[in-house]
Each structure stands twice: as structure tokens, then as C-alpha cells.
Chain A
């Protein structure tokens, strides 16, 4: 009880000691992370503001439903949960690396830092696949009275409301031969592209099953810019975190921290890495869950 009382009465602001009881570098890392939180916050709030100004916004479960190797299977949220768990686990391995550093355990630092780097690279690979899948995706979209096949880019959004069958049937009459071949191919993989190309537009239209063709209107354009902008900015943070962790790993291996007598650098890198995980929690919320 007596010790608690003395700790409580410590005059933190009377000089001679850090009022935050923290070394300079770590404190500055915290302030940097706070400013970075406002940058991410501003991006996400801007996204929220635009989203609230729209009558329609795509359902994330419809947009993010693909899984590598699963073809056209409808698996909403599956891949992004894998990405989220990768980041949570890599955060845990970072905690263990920092803890090993406190004990001056060089082998432990190398081991856990190594796994953290692996986790970061795995996350980046997942993101690369997801972006590629969204950009190169082929979705039938009703545009100006005809059907176009478009992917999710900065300029167009294929995730509008589902178009009704009447409008789709009418639009098929104005659709280009190439697109019709593509649509017919999506519904019937038995016929090769060349065979379908040889058919007339009328034959192609009759072979297309309207029930299976989920034609949508164009969705809000802002979706692409915000999604690629914010996940890209986060991905860039992950990339720089991986680079920082690789530098920490090399310095540990070269006994830089051992000779210095402490592993405080690992703590600062750890703070940055946890922050990247923290931001993902909010990106996950804003783009994938709500």
C-alpha cells in the first residue's frame, strides 16, 4: 500500500524525468501513429460521407464473394476473413518478438520477427489477388440500353441494383456480337469460343438463359476510388511495415541490438505493426462488413 501511495505522488511534471515515463523514440512513434490515425480516419470518414449521400450502395457480400481456386462459387466474406486472421496472427507473433527482445533473447526475436514478416507478405499476396480479381472480373452490366462486360475499376462499378428481365431482354438486342459470345460462353462452357463466334446474334440471344444472367445496373463510381485508395494506402503501410521488420531482423542478426544492450527498436517497429493491424480492423468494418 505504501509503495502505491509513493508512485501516485510522483511529480511527473517537476522535471528530471519523462512526464510520460517513456523514452523519446517510443513517445514520438506514438505521436506519429496518432497523426496517421487521423489520416486514415479522414479517408474513411470521407468514404462514409459519400456513402451516406447515395441512395444506393453495393452490398459488400455481393462484391467480395470470391476465393482463390474456387471459381465462380459464391463465398461471401470467406477470403477477407482469411486476410483478417493472417493480420491478427502476425500481430501476435510481433508481440512475442517484442517480448523476446525485453529478455534479450536474440534467437526468439529472430524467430518471431521472421513469422511476422511471413504474415505480412501473405497478407500482401492476398490483397494482390483480390485487386486483380476485382479489376479483371467480368460482370454483365446494363449500360445505356445495351449490355457491357466490365470489371471493378476506378471509373466503373458493376454492382448496381439487379436489372429486371424486361430491360435485359430489350438490351440484348442492342448488345455487340462480341459481348453476346461472351455471355453465351459464361452460361455454356461446352461450346468453344470459335463455335459461338460463328453463330448469329439471334442464335446467341436464344441460347442465353435470362434466369442465370444476373445483369446489374452501374453502381456508384465512388466505390472504386475509395476501395482501391484506402485499401491501397493500408497495403502500402503493410509493405513499409514488412520492410521495417526485415531491417530489424537484419540488425538483430548482426548483433546491433545485442551490442547496444537493449532491443527498444523492435518495440517501435512493433508499435507500427500493431497500428497496421488496428487500421485493418476499421477497413474491414467499413468496406466488408457494413
Chain B
């Protein structure tokens, strides 16, 4: 099928098929909504864990990792279905996706850098450590036995 305006472009996907199109859009909308609801549930779970007496940091970290993966799934569906990148030819997909791979290094390097800066400051800048490190429940009671236990919000 010839493109309406450009001779050098051939349309190979079927825009005209109304029913399958609507089915696909409906499916994607439901999928995005469900993923968002799951993300919100995980966010609220993190809140409940933080509120508790002894937050399980590993569990919080795992939940945060899960939310990141779900977000990537949402991004995939938006780009692939709503932006129709999934319907384009391989050349087109690659010219967008390959440069975006830079993000793998970009994220890893800068998060690592920030973390390393924190570790260095905690080692060599005691004032920074003392003034910014959140006090844990157990530690506070050890340090000041007379102090009333402060309730977390």
C-alpha cells in the first residue's frame, strides 16, 4: 500500500482494521492501569513497612526494584503500542533503541558515583555522618536510656 503523501514510504501495517485496533488499545489501556495500581500498592506497602518499628530494609529494596521493573514494562507498552514503534521496520526500531542503550552506563555510573561519595564522606567527614545519619530506634535507646521513645509517624 502506498503512503498518502510520500512515495518512498510503504505502509505495511493495517491501520484500517478497526476492530483489532480497538482491541489492542483497550488491552494496552487495561494493562497500563493494572500495572499502575500494582505500583501504587507496592508504594503503600513501602510506607507501611517504614511506619513499622523495625523496617526491613532488604524488603523495601526488593519492592523498589519491582516498581522499577514494572515501570520499564509500562514504558515498553507506551512506546511499542501507543507510539507504534512496534509496528515499524527493524531499521527504525534499532535507530531509536540502540542509542538509548547509553542509559545503561549512564544510570549505573552516576548512581555508583553518588554512593561512593556518600561512603567517602561517612568515612572521612564525621560531622556529616553525625548530623545526617538517621537514628535507629534501638541505637537511640542505647545512647539515651532516659529518653522517651519517640513514636514514628
Contacts and interface: CB of A to CB of B under 8 A. Distances in A.
A81 B148 contact: no
A177 interface: no
Interface size class of A (residues with CB under 8 A): 35 or more
Contact of B75 (A55, A102, A260, A282): A282
A102 B96 CA distance: 24
Contacts of B25: 92, 95-96, 99
Nearest to A169: B148
Interface in B92-109: 92, 95-96, 99-100, 102-103, 106-107
Contact of B95 (A7, A20, A76, A103): A20
Interface in A12-59: 12, 16-24, 27, 30, 34, 37-38, 41-42, 45-46, 48-56, 59
A99 B15 contact: yes
Task: Give the interface SS of chain B, mostly helix, strand, loop or mixed.
Answer: helix
Interface in A273-288: 274-275, 277-278, 281-282, 284-285, 288
Given A56-B133, A102-B16, A288-B43, A46 B110 contact: yes
A162 interface: yes
Contacts of B9: 17-18, 21-23
Nearest to A50: B114
A49 B113 contact: yes
A5 B6 CA distance: 24
B123 interface: no
Contacts of A289: 39, 42-43, 46, 64, 67, 71
Interface size class of B (residues with CB under 8 A): 35 or more
Contacts of A85: 33, 36
A261 interface: yes
Given A61-B43, A102-B16, A18 B106 contact: no
A47 to B, nearest CB: 10
B148 A20 contact: no
Contacts of B40: 77, 81
A23 B3 contact: yes
B29 A19 contact: no
A36 to B, nearest CB: 12
B114 A48 contact: yes
A271 interface: yes
B110 A21 contact: no
A166 B150 CA distance: 9
B117 A53 contact: yes
Nearest to A88: B32
Given A55-B133, A162-B150, 8 more contacts: A12-B91, A17-B8, A20-B92, A30-B92, A53-B118, A61-B44, A62-B153, A274-B82
28 contacts: A18-B9, A20-B89, A23-B6, A37-B100, A42-B106, A45-B111, A46-B110, A49-B113, A51-B114, A53-B117, A56-B134, A61-B44, A61-B46, A85-B33, A91-B82, A92-B29, A94-B82, A95-B82, A161-B134, A162-B152, A166-B147, A211-B151, A261-B4, A270-B83, A271-B83, A274-B83, A285-B39, A285-B68
